[in-house]
Amino acid sequence: MAHPFEVMPNPSFSKAEPLLQTHLDSTSLNEFKICPRRYYYSIVMGYQPMEQSVHLTFGILLHSVVEHYWLARLEDNLSHDEALRRIVKELMVATWEKDKGKPWTPDNKVKNRFTLVRTAVWYLDKYQDDPIETLVLPGGRVGVELPFRMPTDYLTQDKERFVLCGKLDRLGTLNKNRYVTDIKTTQRTINNWWYDRFSPDNQFSIYSIAAKIIFETEVLGILVDACQVVQTFSDFQRGIVQRTPEQLDQWMNDLGFFLAQLEWCARNNEWPLNDSACNLWGGCPFRRVCSAQTESIKHMVLENEYRRRVWDPTFQTLDY
């Protein structure tokens, strides 16, 4: 496959085979499992639609301020109100377009600056006396915002090891059981069916394995705080997504199949298009690229409607 533009340097890729990603996170793995061609555009070449999804922005910012809230409470010993002031300031600054001198105003009645701040304040007010006790790792590191790199048993043909990367929001204890905690936002009413979507799921399987291997903590599951965000209110519920050791073993076994496919694609520079996935999740963001009738139109679409960024799962520095 001809590269329309130069491949950008990415530390998560193989030194021996430049198109082969050896350090993958759940996002990279998800993209490849959905469609190799989509993975090629989004991860290998680094394309992203010009307008970052408001859902992505909302989710990233909410995750970030909740993590910073807990660090403020646990490391800086701030009170709830002091920590809340800090993260509200952080949110407002992060959603201010300094170059334009105006606030971020996405055209979305549900996910916008106001509902983001509202959700953060209501959520943290609700869980300020969280019964989940945050773990403290050996060495005194608070178990919040924990990046990890987990070597697997899988090697490339050049004997480089595949590594799974990611970041745990928090490790905690509840009723003597240990959990990884995570936050998810949705517009839907939260019920048991909503939690079913996470079994199976790449991200939570990786988190469960990482907790056990890297942090030497056998977790009962992922404790998910679901945040329902609609125009007029935000609501919160907590549920557990569990994984058995057998499920995790099977997931690691299946991983080998996908890594072998990934290596084949990279070495052959062939990225098959899964046309059964084009309509999923509201439509693939690269649909216009794949449906372009000529290579020159494809290049034009990529140049005009997408920007480039490096998706590097290794960018988080390990600080423990």
Contact residues for 192 (Cβ-Cβ < 8 A; gap 6+):
239
Residue 3 interacts with another protein (CB under 8 A): yes or no: no
Which residues, in sequence order, are bridge partners of residue 178?
173
Within 140-179, which residues bind another protein (CB under 8 A)? none
Residue 280 interacts with another protein (CB under 8 A): yes or no: yes
Residue 153 tokens, joined: 């048993």
Residue 71 interacts with another protein (CB under 8 A): yes or no: no
Residue 103 interacts with another protein (CB under 8 A): yes or no: yes
Residue type, 148: F
| Minimum CB–partner distance for residue 80 and another protein (Å) | 11
Looking at the Cβ atoms of 16 and 280, the one nearer to another protein is 280
Under a CB-based contact definition with an 8 Å cutoff, are residues 95 and 104 in contact? yes
Looking at the Cβ atoms of 91 and 135, the one nearer to another protein is 91
Residue 191 interacts with another protein (CB under 8 A): yes or no: yes
Question: Which listed residue (33, 118, 149, 267) binds another protein by CB under 8 A?
Answer: 118
Applying CB under 8 A, the span of 149-157, 196-204, 208-216, 304-312 interacting with another protein comes to 196-204
Give dist(CA 238, CA 73) in Å, integer: 21
Helix (H) or strand (E) holding 304: helix 295-305
Residue 189 interacts with another protein (CB under 8 A): yes or no: yes
Please, is 74 exposed, middle or buried when counting C-beta atoms within 10 Å of its C-beta (0-12, 13-18, 19+)? middle
| Minimum CB–partner distance for residue 319 and another protein (Å) | 24
Looking at the Cβ atoms of 157 and 187, the one nearer to another protein is 187
Give dist(CA 166, CA 22) in Å, integer: 13
**The pairing of beta strand 234-242 with beta strand 221-229:** antiparallel
Grouping H, G, I as helix, E, B as strand and the rest as coil, residue 164 is strand
Question: Which listed residue (33, 49, 55, 127) binds another protein by CB under 8 A?
Answer: 55
Residue 237 interacts with another protein (CB under 8 A): yes or no: no
Q: What dihedral angle (degrees, nearest 10) is formed by the CA atoms of 148, 63, 11, 319?
A: -40
Name the residues that contact another protein, by CB under 8 A: 53, 55-56, 58-60, 63, 81, 84-85, 88-89, 92-93, 96, 98, 101-103, 105, 109-110, 112-114, 117-118, 121-122, 125, 184-189, 191, 193, 196-198, 201, 203, 230-233, 279-283
